[in-house]
Structure 1
Amino acid sequence: MTDQIVRDNHRGWIASASFFVLFMLPAMVGQFGVDRPVWATGLAVGGLVLYGVGYVLLPVAVWRASTSWQVSVGVAYMGAAAALSTVATPYIFIWAFALCAVIVPGWWMVPVHGVAFLVLVIVLPGSYMGLLVILLSVTLLCRAVVHMIDVNRELRLARDQVTALAVADERGRIARDLHDVLGHSLTTVTVKAGLARRMLEAGVGIDRALAEMRDVERLSQQALADIAATVSGERSASLAAELVGAKEVLRAAGIDADFPLAVDDVAPEYQEAFAFALREGVTNVVRHSAGATRCEVRLGGRWLEVRDDGDPVPAAANPSRVDGGGNGLTGLSQRLGGIGARLEAGPLPSQGFRLRVEVPA
């Protein structure tokens, strides 16, 4: 139970109990009309005052105490009602039955209330039959209220947990999408800017260098648009579009692209997830595959595979390239979990690196 829920329960009980205690005032005022010593009257009034204060504060004090403490307090308060009934009215038991129904847990309420009720049935004259009905009604009503409070508490806890999970899920989604957007876009921008710089330094291909810089500008604008779409939750990915973009970034990096001509073989429900897998795989080829000159992409109805011919030693030593390693593959694994796909990433036996995504049949 959270502290806020506890405070709300305490405030609610104190407010309602304080109002209910006001009905003790006639019994207190009636003590002054009894012919007895002043000290006896003071003792009776003081006992009723403490009885009322206890009714308000005892549940707050023992709400989270052990069962033994709660039962003991309930029995003691019932005993106080029995003592005060000798100087006041048997109706004083109404508050004792109400309090015990609130603080005595579970089936312990049956013996506590049962014994007190049985004693009152034996001791009280028939004219107090109405009181017995009231005590039974108050007990059932208070117990029902306690049950409603418990249910409301559980609902609030469940709501808070759902909210926390939703916030964590949304943070994870934004982190994955930002990694996909910035990782791929900045890699492409870096490659193209480097290519343009080398052309300008060599004094050749001025027009080509300007074309690359225009692409850098376009990609930067697209990255800004993707970030805005990511934050708003409206971003999606197209496998066909990712193939085109992957060819472009590989070309700028000087890596030959061996790609399929179409994506029709991939089931439509898997294409968006495979698009993110393709983006991550090609980005890692450009960033991490030392000496790679060729990148192959193969597609099937339920699988996608990205291979390169780079040096496998740096790839294997880089934790961001193996399954369960960096943020990219971790986020990709979480995304692929939505379609039940399995991710495999690691160096090939001879040369190169492979990333494979497959949805089990």
Structure 2
Amino acid sequence: MSQTTDREDSVALPRRNRFGVLFAAVWMVFLGGPLIEGWNLRDELRGWTGILATVAFGALYLYTFATTQQRRRMTMTRPTIREAALALAALTALAAVMIVSVGPTGLAAAPYLAVTAVTLLPTVAGGILALVFAASVEIVSLSSGWGNYSGLSLGVCAAAFATWGIMSLISRNFAMLHEREEQEQRAIMEERTRMARDLHDILGHSLTVITIKAELANRLLDVDIERARNELDDLERLSRDALADVRSAVEGFRGISLPVEIARAREALRAAGIEDEVPSSTDMVPTRLRELFAWTIREGVTNVVRHSGATHCRITVDEKSASVVDDGQGAGSTSSGNGLIGLRERAGASGARVIITHPQPQGFALQVVEQETE
């Protein structure tokens, strides 16, 4: 799904960029005046010079516009000052050749220069340079005796202002697009983290119990074949349950049951030869805490069976807390384990906190307590 979306985006971006270039190309019609004047002077060198300069000016303007738009869309950045200066210098030089070759019609390049300045440069610098181009139109026209071109000067200012407004709108749209993409990426990473955490919790507990039962069944083969067969039946059932849990986790709608987890905990402890003390009822636990307490028991019992070397384990639940306490060596669980990290995240989301203590003279206690609300 994500690969398809990436391919679609990679196709859509150049397509939108082509539409932008096409829109800019439509406005190149105003360069028709210098081309027509150059054609009228085709018997002279300056006529062809004007035509070539106008064509080169239009091509460079479109290229600059297209690359700038694509860069903004992909990276949200403007060209560097050096790149902007080179582009503006080249366009200004071509505009000067147009004016010298075809006369006053070459002044039609001025609005494009102002638009390019606003597009490439920061707002203040682009605005100042646009005003410079507008003033240059007046200076060149008056000093050359071509008459009053104040209308064109106003056109230069209007084009620059309109471009600034459009660029601001485009920049905001690009910023929103990139923000949405970042949010989607964060959502993907959060989902991956959830999947990794849930799969760890599911497989860690289930495979631990399966391993213990497999060892027990192997030992019973030469002692009590009927009991060994029962253990193998349990192995099949546990593996099917684990597979169902993994499928549910992948589909994203898994929930676990507190009574079921207590029953599984009793079974796992007894299979490991650990004396169990578990509650007979969970009715007092409110609905909002039942899933969290189920995860607490699963994580706590998994660590007891795996690491503690305990002979006794006590599980307690009430309306505000759940705990798993063993009399082992107290070195099995750590505050940095993946399971405990996931349990802390769940507890925090439910307004609870994880408490780890080491009862004397030995043992390990994992407790999740609902925090008091003010």
TM-score scaled to structure 2, two decimals?
Answer: 0.81
Post-superposition shift, 1:337?
Answer: 3.0
Sequence identity percentage: 33
Return closer, same or farther for 1:322/1:8 CA change in 2, 3 Å cut-off.
farther
- Post-superposition offset of 1:32: 2.3
* Aligned equivalents of 1:341, 1:324: Cα separation in 2: 18
Contact 1:71 1:108 in 2 (8 A): no
After superposition, give the CA deviation of every residue in 1:41-99 in whole Å (9 maximum; x if it has no partner).
22222221221122122346676433465367447645754663452513332222222
Match of 2:364 in 1: 353
* Separation of aligned partners in 2, 1:360 and 1:53: 68
Contact 1:13/1:56, CA 8 A, preserved across alignment: no
Partner of 1:324: 336
Please state how far the C-alpha of 1:8 moved relative to its aligned partner: 7.1
1:195-214 alignment to 2 at 5 Å?
Answer: 195-202=216-223, 204=224, 206-214=225-233
Equivalent residue for 1:307, pick from 325, 329, 336 = 325
Q: CA deviation at 1:288?
A: 1.0
Task: State yes or no: 1:99 paired with 2:111.
Answer: no
Q: How many residues align?
A: 349
Does the CA-based 8 Å contact 1:296-1:306 persist in structure 2? yes
> Deviation digits for residues 215-252 of structure 1, max 9, x if unmatched?
22211111111111111011101222211221121122
State the alpha-carbon separation in 2 of the partners of residues 57 and 231 from structure 1. 48
Worse-matched range after superposition: 158-167 or 131-140:
131-140
Question: 2:138, 2:148 within 8 Å by CA — same for their partners in 1?
Answer: no
CA offset digits 1:25-48 (Å, max 9, x no partner): 44213212138x622222222221
The residue that corresponds to 1:341 in the other structure is: 352
What pairs with 1:14-29 in structure 2 (closer than 5 Å)? Answer: 14-29=21-36
* Counterpart for residue 245 of structure 1: 264
Q: Distance in 2 between matches of 1:197 and 1:85?
A: 97
Rounded to whole Å, the distance in 1 between the matches of 2:80 and 2:13 is: 16
**Contact 1:344-1:355 within 8 A present in 2 as well:** yes
Deviation sequence 1:232-273 (CA, Å, 0-9, x none) = 011101222211221121122222221223223433212212
Once the two structures are TM-superposed, the CA of residue 141 in structure 1 deviates from its matched residue by: 2.4
- Counterpart residue type for residue 168 of structure 2: H
Alignment correspondent of 2:312 = 294
Matched, 1:41 2:47: yes
RMSD: 3.1
| TM-score normalised by length of structure 1 | 0.84
The amino acid across from 1:329 in the alignment is L
After superposing the two structures, state which structure 1 stretch, 179-188 or 17-26, moved more.
17-26
- Which stretch has the larger CA shift, 144-153 or 241-250? 144-153
Unpaired stretches in structure 2, ≥5 consecutive residues: 1-8, 72-77
1:101·1:142 contact (CA, 8 Å) conserved in 2? yes
- Within 2, Cα distance between the matches of 1:179 and 1:69? 52
Q: 1:142 to 1:9 in 2, by over 3 A?
A: farther
Question: Cα distance, 1:120 vs. partner?
Answer: 3.8
2:238 matched to which residue of 1?
Answer: 219
